[in-house]
Structure 1
Amino acid sequence: MLAFAIATLFVFAGIAAAVVVVDCLVKARAAYATLMREGEVMRAGLVLQAAARDMALRPSSRPITARRRPASLRPAMVQACAAA
């Protein structure tokens, strides 16, 4: 009974692995077709327009200019001295 359960587990694991490989092959084929189509368009002398989300330099929630620290948080100037 234990041997049958182990064999069944290996069969299901093999089937799952085969399904994953087939899924990856289908996605890779679609990506390859897209790249070839874009290559043909570029060789024809046309340029594809990038999506606006791909062109964003930074998220809009970040401040645009740098802010200075308040004077109370700046490090104090300390005299440097060397040990003799």
Structure 2
Amino acid sequence: MGYEDLNVSALLLVRCLPGYPYKCPKLQITPENGLSKSDADKLLALLSDQANSNAREGRVMIFNLVEAAQEFLSEIVPVGQSHESVSFAIQS
């Protein structure tokens, strides 16, 4: 998906609770390679907002949250960085 040349990663922990998708899953971001705590906090806020919006409509959302996270990660990588990979591990 075009992320092969980037070097940034994060761990996204998703815990679906009873009532999902009408109830937001619990989300946790652990910054890993190349991701600052500040950017991890911004990513968590972005994903939480998106999850709240999806939950109001009762839409399943985990795939969309992962896509949003990948897009976010791809936008924060320094331009000169290459020959590495973006990784996003998902635990649920």
TM-score (norm 2): 0.25
TM-score, normalization: structure 1?
0.27
Larger relative contact order, structure 1 or 2 (CA cutoff 8 Å, min sep 6): 2
Structure number with larger C-alpha Rg:
1
Q: Greater helix share, 1 or 2?
A: 1
